[in-house]
């Protein structure tokens, strides 16, 4: 990452990191507007845009009607007409009505006009479970969108990455879907460098080095995978942990280098297994590093059910725990 102004840093949680970055973007560029449900006086339901409306006014902090298709669609028009909109979908579960505007419009605008029109747009949305959000406040949506050329997808796990990647997303000349795991919002705190910096999209982060197994994850599960890997370290097993950070583009080099070293790959994600991000990673590694593999690639992902239920046992069964991750790692190391 390139830190431009100072080497000092501030401890923040992920909510504060998103907020600080959005604030900077609003402050530094008056083309930036934020639109979404309850982003104004309420300051977003997670208080990410708290007080923005007081400083930047209702013209730039736009409380929209409950109409997700138009939240994204209007942002597309703003972007085509030279603003830098940051659209918010209140929960990722509500993004479906705007599916066409994201997949059919935003992602194709540059292409269909042969570059004459572009759509520099950020769509932020909190996703993920572990917060008792049940069927409509817990979903992971990344697999529905990562298939789409023209769109970029980011899913950071750490506050410093949130800032660097959100800055990069805002600067990006193309539409970016910025996924924020809501369980990490207040749970995860960390040092965030002061001043403006960006982290390039498509660069994974090697969080922990190891020799016997590569674990690839993103979002909340990165934290749990790291916890599990550290536990295994105490048992004398050496696991390498990679935080993807960007889902599209995805960092092939980091994954391949690691797999060629450890010869074993475990992919951990919260989204459903069938057709998930892990499927693409598995296919890529099978295509490019088959003769380095010393064990079948494994995926620890959500089961093939539509959602996590509200009742605690249903949520726990749906999600993978650090303990389950550790067990999968042990099995694979010993394989």
Partner 1 sequence: MVPKVDTSFERHDLTDEQLVALLRTMVAHRTLESRGFQLNRQGKIPFASAGEGHEAVQAGAAMAFRRGVDVLVPYYRDLGLDIGIGVTAYEILLSLFGRAADHSAGRQFPHHYASRKLGLYSISSVIAAQLPHAVGAAYAMKLRGEERAVLTTCGDGATSEGEWHESMNFAAIHRLPVVVLCENNEWAISTPLSKQMAQPDIYKRAEGYGMPGVLVDGMDPVACYAAVKTALDRARSGGGPALVEAKCYRFLAHTTDDDDRTYRSRDEVAERRKRDPVPLFERTLIENGVMTADDVEALKRSVLDETNEATDRAEAMPYPKPEDLYTNVYSANFQPWQ
Partner 2 sequence: MATTITMPQLGETVTEGTVAQWLKKVGDSVDKYEAFVEVSTDKVNAEVPSPVTGTIREVLVKEGETVATGTPIAVIDEVGAAAPPAPPPAEAPKAAAAPAPAPASSNGAGSSAVSNGTPDSALRAASPAVRRLAREHHVDVRTIKGTGTNGRVTADDVLAAASMGPSAAVGQAIASATPAAPRTAAPPPSGTSTYGEPIPGTVVPLNQARRIIAERMVESKHTAPHAWSMVEIDVSNVWKWRTREKDRFERETGHKLTLLPFFIRAVVESLAAFPLMNGKFTPEGIYVNKDVNVGVAIGLPTNLVVPVIKNADQLSIKGLAIAAGELIDKARRNKLGVDDLSGGTFTVNNNGANGSWASAPIINAGQAGIVTMEAVIKKPVVRDDDSIAIRHMMNSCLSLDHRVVDGYVASGFLADLKKRLERMGPEGSL
Partner 3 sequence: MTTTMAKTDIKTGKLERYGLTDDKLRALLRNMLLQRQLDNRGFQLNRQGKVPFALGSEGHEALQAGAAMAFERGKDILAPYYRDLGLCLGIGLSPYEILLSIFARAADHNGGRQFPNHYSSKQAGLMSFSSILAAHIPHAVGAAYAIKYRGEQGRAVLVTSGDGTTSEGEWHESMNFAAIHELPMVMLVENNEWAISTPLDKQMAQPEIWKRAAGYGMPGRRFNGFDPIETYGAVKEAMDRARSGGGPSIVEGTCYRYLAHSTDDNDMTYRTKEVVQERRKNDPVPRFEALLVEYGVMSERDVEAMRKDVLRETNDATDRAEAMPYPQPSDLYTHVYEGAWEPWQ
**Site residues for partner 2 per CB under 8 A:** 15, 46-47, 131-133, 137, 182-183, 185-187, 263, 266, 273-274, 290-296, 298-304, 313, 317, 320, 324, 328, 331-332, 334-335
Listed in sequence order, the residues at least 6 apart from 198 whose beta carbon sits closer than 8 Å to its beta carbon are 1, 2, 164, 165, 167, 168, 171
Q: Which is nearer to partner 2, 8 or 321 (CB)?
A: 321
CA distance 332 to 335: 5
Residue 77, binding choice from partner 2, partner 3, partner 1, none, Cβ under 5 to 8 Å by partner class:
partner 3
Contacts of 187-191 with CB under 8 Å at 24 or more apart are 187/13, 187/223, 188/13, 188/14, 188/157, 188/158, 188/159, 188/223, 189/11, 189/12, 189/13, 189/159, 190/11, 190/12, 190/158, 190/159, 190/160, 191/9, 191/10, 191/11, 191/159, 191/160
Does residue 250 touch partner 3 according to CB under 8 A? yes
Does residue 303 touch partner 1 according to CB under 8 A? yes
CA nearest 237: which of 301, 327, 324, 320? 327
| 301: three-class secondary structure by DSSP | strand
Q: Which of 137, 181, 223, 269 is labelled catalytic?
A: 137
Does residue 115 touch partner 3 according to CB under 8 A? yes
Does residue 134 touch partner 3 according to CB under 8 A? no
CA nearest 60: which of 52, 68, 72? 52
The residue from 2, 66, 283, 286 that contacts partner 1 (CB under 8 A) is 66
Tell the smallest beta-carbon distance from residue 185 to partner 1 (Å).
12
Does residue 179 touch partner 3 according to CB under 8 A? no
Pairing of strands 9-13, 189-193: antiparallel
Tell the smallest beta-carbon distance from residue 60 to partner 3 (Å).
8
Q: Is 137 a catalytic residue?
A: yes
| Residues 76/101, Cβ–Cβ less than 8 Å | yes
Tell the smallest beta-carbon distance from residue 281 to partner 2 (Å).
14
Q: What is the DSSP string of 165-200?
A: HHHHHHH-SS-EEEEEETTHHHH-EEEEESS-EE--
Find the part of the chain contacting partner 3 (CB under 8 A) among 4-12, 17-25, 74-82, 261-269: 74-82
Pairing of strands 2-3, 197-198: antiparallel
Does residue 128 touch partner 1 according to CB under 8 A? no
Q: Which is nearer to partner 1, 130 or 202 (CB)?
A: 130
Q: Count Cβ atoms below 10 Å from residue 228 Cβ, excluding itself.
A: 27
Does residue 234 touch partner 3 according to CB under 8 A? no
Residue 266, binding choice from partner 3, partner 1, partner 2, none, Cβ under 5 to 8 Å by partner class:
partner 2
Q: Between residue 87 and residue 126, which ones bind partner 1 under the rule CB under 8 A? A: 93-94, 96-97
Note the residues at the interface with partner 1 (CB under 8 A). 37-38, 40-43, 45, 50, 63-70, 93-94, 96-97, 131-137, 274-275, 303-314, 316-318
Catalytic residues: 137
Note the residues at the interface with partner 3 (CB under 8 A). 33, 59-60, 62, 64-65, 67, 69-70, 72-83, 85, 97, 100-101, 104-105, 108-118, 149-150, 152, 173-174, 202-203, 248-253, 284
């Amino acid at each position: 990452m390139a830190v431009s102004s100072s080497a000092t840093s501030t401890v923040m949680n992920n909510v504060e990191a998103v907020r600080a970055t959005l604030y900077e973007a609003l402050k530094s560029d008056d083309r930036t507007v934020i639109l979404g449900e309850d982003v104004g006086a309420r300051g977003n339901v997670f208080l990410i845009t708290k007080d923005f409306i007081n400083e930047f006014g209702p013209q730039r902090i736009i409380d929209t009607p409950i109409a997700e298709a138009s939240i994204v669609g209007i942002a597309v028009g703003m972007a085509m007409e030279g603003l830098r909109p940051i659209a918010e979908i209140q929960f990722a579960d509500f993004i479906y009505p705007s599916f066409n505007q994201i997949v059919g419009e935003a992602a194709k605008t540059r292409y269909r006009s042969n570059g004459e029109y572009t759509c520099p747009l950020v769509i932020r949305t909190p996703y993920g479970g572990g917060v008792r959000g049940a069927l409509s406040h817990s979903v992971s949506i990344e697999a529905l969108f990562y298939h789409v050329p023209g769109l970029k997808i980011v899913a950071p796990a750490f506050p410093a990455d949130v800032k660097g990647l959100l800055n990069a997303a805002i600067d990006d000349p193309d539409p970016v879907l910025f996924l924020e795991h809501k369980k990490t919002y207040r749970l995860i705190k960390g040092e965030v460098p002061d001043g403006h910096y960006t982290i390039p999209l498509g660069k994974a982060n090697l969080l922990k080095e190891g020799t016997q197994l590569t674990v690839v994850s993103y979002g909340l599960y990165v934290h749990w995978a790291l916890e599990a890997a550290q536990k295994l370290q105490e048992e004398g097993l050496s696991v390498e942990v990679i935080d993807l950070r960007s889902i599209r583009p995805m960092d092939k080099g980091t994954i391949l280098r690691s797999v060629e070293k450890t010869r074993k790959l475990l992919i951990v994600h919260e989204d459903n297994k069938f057709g998930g991000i892990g499927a693409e990673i598995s296919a890529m590694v099978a295509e490019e590093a088959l003769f380095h593999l010393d064990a079948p690639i494994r995926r620890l992902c959500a089961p093939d059910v539509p959602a996590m239920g509200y009742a605690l046992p249903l949520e726990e069964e749906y999600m993978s725990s650090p303990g389950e991750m550790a067990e999968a790692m042990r099995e694979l190391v010993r394989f």
